Structure 1
């Protein structure tokens, strides 16, 4: 075979070296390899840079914030207040007056604690009304204004008695049958005081009559709410699976 003869002849280097045909030298591949290597390194560098850039952007921007949702505790407190306020004539004003005071609420599922906050809201609103009447009485000669202020101050005293009755030492009974009866009587008197004040203002032609009636509307609603809560406190305790302490 010719290929066998070729390799046999190629093995005799010393005899026929000059007689061998000259073959073209294989092309030098080093420049091509170098070019491919450079391109590969460049591609790898660009890929790493793009990846790092994406990671940095993701880190800076952060995940989109999920909408805030009320905690379970806040949801339970909200439901408790609404349950209590639903026994009143003015549930919306009841809820709005109690909600800002809940930071001091020890037990959100205790109607007695919510009643106490309602009384505080009523007392605070009547204090504002008394201050307005004091200022008005100093600039007006209308006897009805002074008389109205006296009734509001008496209503404040009744609400203060109610709050004091609910301030007890740890372990003592916050509400008893006797206390419920007393508080209900005191709040009823506070409601009557405000009605008497309003009746006196309506009999005058004072320019402040409209302003005072508007300010008194909120205090009347708050006091009415407190009266409704204490009147239904036993039913509310049953709804919360509780009993008088």
Structure 2
């Protein structure tokens, strides 16, 4: 009898305070990523939109990553125009911009693919396709900073790209642990 009352009270409190259940869902989901605090900071503004939907969480995580990737590209472009850098640094920066542009494209395609996912015979194909695109974006992010060996490029610029890489890693983990798992069980 006591357990039934407790269960009823919990259900009632969740109905009265849906934001709390959304917060718990996001908190638990972000705790499964490599960078939980970063995950929570970037996704908490969308908590009412996400609710407790693994699909919306995965879409929002990838959208936040794509937005940050595009912002990173703009910041790198501005940096290249406003800072005096050597010819070698300029080449490394141009290579990085190309990689970040590729990453943005691949994240965009992964979101398009996510919209195509339905249960059925193509499910695994679509899921693997999304993982492939996101993995390619992560590889591009890693490759971006390979040429950043000069002191000026190793600090400020690497930090800008690193933040974007961390978000991409989190977005991938949210996709794999929440949405893919939920859909593979249905």
TM-score range, shorter chain: 0.7 to 0.9
Within the alignment, does 1:220 sit opposite 2:168 as a pair? no
Q: Which blocks of at least 5 consecutive residues in structure 2 are unaligned? A: 1-15
Q: CA deviation at 1:124?
A: 1.1
Alignment of 1:41-56 (within 5 A): none
Q: Distance in 1 between matches of 2:179 and 2:62?
A: 17
Q: Distance in 2 between matches of 1:97 and 1:76?
A: 18
Aligned to 1:35: none
Secondary structure in 2 aligned to 1:89? coil
Aligned to 1:90: 35
Q: Distance in 2 between matches of 1:143 and 1:132?
A: 16
Q: CA deviation at 1:98?
A: 0.8
Which of 1 and 2 has higher RCO (CA within 8 Å, sep 6+)? 2
Q: Which blocks of at least 5 consecutive residues in structure 1 are unaligned? A: 1-70
Within the alignment, does 1:120 sit opposite 2:67 as a pair? no
Within the alignment, does 1:211 sit opposite 2:159 as a pair? no
Within the alignment, does 1:79 sit opposite 2:24 as a pair? yes
Normalised by the length of structure 2, the TM-score is 0.78
Query: How many residues of Structure 1 are paired with residues of Structure 2 in the alignment?
Result: 164
Provide closer, same or farther for how the CA distance between residues 92 and 164 of structure 1 changes in structure 2, counting only shifts above 3 A.
same
C-alpha contact 1:151 1:193 (8 A) present in aligned 2:
yes
Q: What are the superposed Cα offsets for residues 164-186 of structure 1, whole Å, 9 maximum, x if unpaired?
A: 12235xxx728932221111111
Q: CA RMSD in A?
A: 2.4
C-alpha contact 1:159 1:190 (8 A) present in aligned 2:
yes
Q: What are the superposed Cα offsets for residues 71-107 of structure 1, whole Å, 9 maximum, x if unpaired?
A: 61110101111222222111111111111123433xx
Aligned to 1:130: 73
Report the structure, 1 or 2, having the larger helix content: 2
Larger Rg: 1
Shift >6 Å, 4+ stretches: none
C-alpha contact 2:76 2:97 (8 A) present in aligned 1:
yes
